[in-house]
Each structure stands twice: as structure tokens, then as C-alpha cells.
Amino acid sequence: MTKRAMITGITGQDGSYLAEFLLARGYEVHGVVRRASSFNTHRIDHLRRDPHDPANRLHLHYGDLSDGSRLACLVDDIRPDEVYNLAAQSHVRVSFDEPVHTADITATGTARLLEAVRRSCPEARFYQASSSELFGATPPPQDERTPFHPRSPYAAAKLFSYWMTRNHREGYGMFAVNGILFNHESPRRGETFVTRKITRAAAAIAAGRETHVYLGNLDAVRDWGYAAEYVEGMWRMLQADEPDDFVLATGVGVTIREFLDVAFGTVGLDWRDHVRFDPRYLRPTEVDALIGDATKAREVLGWKPSVDGRGLAKLMVEADLEAIEHAGRPWIDTVPLPSWNDPDTP
Ligand code: NAP
Ligand code: GDD
């Protein structure tokens, strides 16, 4: 039997890698896409086929985590075996500007989706995209037993979703799990997160298109892994014998300065000549250090990452350089649009 997966946030970094991963394993994939005035499917366009082709296994549906009735209809129609809730207002700095919107999508949105699944197909396995931001002010190393101390509206919203997921597991016996993922990046990372901002700048400066980049706090430590490897961890959590919560991390802490060293070093530049400070990028409360211990995921799920923050800096700069060299535009634009491209479909 073909397994059916539903992914919210399929147009994001993780959603695109997860869709690729599941399609390669023979899944039928249903992605929820929010309506926008311009196309927002660029990360998954290379996976799309003619929707009229009976062999097509990627189906996109309009939907928004703010709209519980739509989510209920979608779950009822699709009847998924696995649900991956990746959609969120996912930017920590932005959550200070938009705390109420962040709560509506990143917290209440999860409750809407969990309730839709509980009502229509409680046997479906449910993955919640929880975050190392939950640990916040609690010093590293952090694992599944580390106390939470959220430091932003985003983290507070994710904390609500974490407990709603556990509550549906404990209260209703659902196979609902939290993946507590430490930062994970890739050439598809959104351009406003610090890693991609740095690697795009390094590539653009090396190509003579820019001269400098503005950044905020350079002292923070993050445990950066490779998104393509983390989506396999998500899937493994839903294949486990018992529902449980897992940390995914590399265990390697890297400061922003060290990431800058490798990124600019890859193109033979010294970042100190090109980085300027802008207090706009500071946060009212900062998360100083996140370094995860993923022993449980390794022992129970057999999941082990192979790329750390330094490896990522190099990999991402090389991808941004290639994008500039080949198209002069972001990497994703190098993928041609399918000829049947139909502007009426999401
Ligand atoms: P991302 O690139 O920002 O993607 C977020 C996705 O959510 C996008 O598809 C976005 O759609 C969608 N979305 C936003 N608001 C929505 C709404 N109101 N209704 C429906 N969809 C909406 O994030 P990511 O890096 O792939 O992360 C995936 C998930 O993991 C997020 O929940 C994030 O908070 C969590 N997480 C990420 C990391 C990390 O380091 N990447 C670590 C821990 C946890 P558009 O494309 O239209 O914007
Ligand atoms: N975005 C950004 N932009 N961050 C900067 C900048 C800048 O110009 N300058 C310094 N930083 C610092 C931030 O203050 C933070 O300490 C660190 O770089 C990382 O910031 P982000 O890349 O925005 O990621 P994040 O750690 O806040 O959040 C990401 O990881 C979480 C998991 O721990 C997001 O992907 C979240 O959705 C995710 O849950």
C-alpha cells in the first residue's frame, strides 16, 4: 500500500527536503500551501509533475494554519497516514515584532491541526516541528531531559505546541511526537537567517556585487546541522515502535564569528573587512548557546548526522557562488519551471 503523507510548510526549507525524501520512498505527498500574491513554491517546483498525470504523487492544496475549518476538511479528505506539521512563523527576531501573529500560527495553528487529526483520523502519526529554542536560557549541553526556558514569543509559541502534542499523545493515545531540532541549514535556507545571510554575502562580495553586510550579535553559539539529514530524522521518529520525543543535533557548537571565518575563508576573504554592526538585528532577549546531545536519537532511531556548522559554511558558500556564476540569481531559479506550469494551481 502506498503511504500517504500530509506536510504543512512544504514550501519551506525543511518541507522541500522532506517532500523529496518521501517521494523517493514511494509516498503520496500532500502539501499545504498558503495563498500568496506571488509564487511561493520555488523550493518544490523541481518536484512538481503535471497534476493531470495519474502517476503524479505530489499534490498541493491551499490552506493556512490560521484556518481550522480548512485544516479539518483537508485532513478529512486526504486521510493521511503521517502528518508533518512544519508550518510556522519561524523567525525568532520577527516574533518580537509580531507576537500575536506568531502565537496564532506557531502555537494555536498546531492545536487546530492536532484537533483536525484527532477528529478525522486519530490513527495517523503526527510529527510536530519543535525547536531547540525551547531550551533558551538553559545552558548546554541540552537533551530531552533539559528544562525549558523560552526566550522569545516564537519559543513560547513552540512550547505550547510541544505540550499540546504530548497532551494528544498522553490524553488520546495518538502517535504524536516532538522532534526537538537544533538549527539546521542548507542552500535552501531562508535568506534572513544568519547562516544564509552570511554565505550569500560572502559569495556576492567575492563576485564583486556587494562590499559589506550588516549583522547583530556575533557571540551566539549554535549547533548547526544539515537540513537534508534532519528530515530523515523526522521520518524515523514516525517509523518508531513507540511515540516519543527526540533531540536532533550534531553536538558541535560554533560561534557566528567561527562561521564567518569559514564562510569568508572559503572565498579567500577576511570577514572583518566586510561585516558591519546594526543594532536592528539584536533581540530583546538572546539565546546565547545551543549545543545538543542527540544520543537518544542515535540509539533508538539509528540517526546520525555527518555535517557540522563548519562543513555547512563551506557547502553553503559554494552553492551561493555557483548560483551567482550560473544564473546571477538564487540557486533555486536555476531549476526550470515545468512546461505545464498552471498558474491556477498552488
Ligand atoms: P521555513 O523555511 O521558514 O518554512 C516555514 C513554512 O511554514 C513555509 O512553508 C511557510 O510558507 C509556512 N507557513 C508560514 N506561515 C504559515 C501559515 N500561516 N499557514 C500555512 N503555512 C505557513 O522554516 P524551516 O526552516 O523549513 O522550518 C520548518 C519548521 O521547523 C518550522 O516550524 C520551524 O519553526 C521549525 N524549526 C526549524 C529549525 C531550523 O533550524 N530550520 C529548527 C527547529 C525547528 P511560505 O513559504 O509561504 O512562507
Ligand atoms: N537572523 C539573524 N540576522 N541573526 C543574527 C544576525 C542577523 O543579522 N546577526 C547575528 N545573529 C544571531 C542571532 O542573534 C542568533 O543568536 C543567531 O545569529 C542565529 O539567528 P537565526 O539564524 O535567526 O536563527 P535562530 O537560532 O534565532 O532560530 C533558528 O533556529 C531555531 C532552532 O534553534 C530558526 O530556524 C528557528 O525557527 C529555529 O527554531
Q: Which of 20, 133, 185, 229 is catalytic?
A: 133
First to last CA, the chain: 27
Is residue 21 in some structural domain? yes
Q: How far is the CA of 272 from the centre of ligand 1 (A)?
A: 32
| The pLDDT of residue 327 | 67
Is 11:31 a contact under the CB 8 Å cutoff? yes
Is residue 333 in some structural domain? no
Q: Mark whether 133 is an active-site residue.
A: yes
Kind and range of the H or E element at 31? strand 28-33
What's the Cα-to-Cα distance from 156 to each of 97, 99, 163, rounded to whole Å?
A: 14, 10, 11
Is residue 345 in some structural domain? no
Q: How far is the CA of 92 from the centre of ligand 2 (A)?
A: 7
The answer to whether the CB of 197 is under 6 A from ligand 2 is yes
Is residue 336 in some structural domain? no
Q: How far is the CA of 157 from the centre of ligand 1 (A)?
A: 13
- The ligand with the least distance to the CA atom of 106 is 1
pLDDT tens digits in sequence order for the chain, 346 residues long: 899 999 999 999 999 999 999 999 999 999 999 999 988 999 999 999 988 899 999 999 999 999 999 999 999 999 999 999 999 999 999 999 999 999 999 999 999 999 999 999 999 999 999 999 999 999 999 999 999 999 999 999 999 999 999 999 999 999 999 999 999 999 999 999 999 999 999 999 999 999 999 999 999 999 999 999 999 999 999 999 999 999 999 999 999 999 999 999 999 999 999 999 999 999 999 999 999 999 999 999 999 999 999 999 999 999 999 998 886 444 443 334 444 444 444 5
Closest-lying ligand 2 atom to the alpha carbon of residue 213: 8
Q: How far is the CA of 133 from the centre of ligand 2 (A)?
A: 10
Number of folded domains that form the chain: 1
Is residue 346 in some structural domain? no
Is residue 98 in some structural domain? yes
| The pLDDT of residue 102 | 98
- For the domain that residue 93 is a member of, what is the CATH number? 3.40.50.720
Determine how β-strand 82-85 pairs with β-strand 184-185: unpaired
| The pLDDT of residue 223 | 98
| The pLDDT of residue 190 | 96
- Exposure of 125 by Cβ count < 10 A (0-12 exposed, 13-18 middle, 19+ buried)? buried
The answer to whether the CB of 96 is under 6 A from ligand 2 is no
Is residue 252 in some structural domain? yes
Q: Mark whether 131 is an active-site residue.
A: yes
| The pLDDT of residue 213 | 96
Structural domain for 82, as ranges: 4-325
| The pLDDT of residue 39 | 87
- Exposure of 274 by Cβ count < 10 A (0-12 exposed, 13-18 middle, 19+ buried)? middle
The answer to whether the CB of 159 is under 6 A from ligand 1 is no
How far apart are the C-alpha atoms of 47 and 42, rounded to whole Å? Answer: 10
Is residue 337 in some structural domain? no
The answer to whether the CB of 42 is under 6 A from ligand 2 is no
Q: Mark whether 154 is an active-site residue.
A: yes
Q: Which of 131, 132, 152, 186 is catalytic?
A: 131
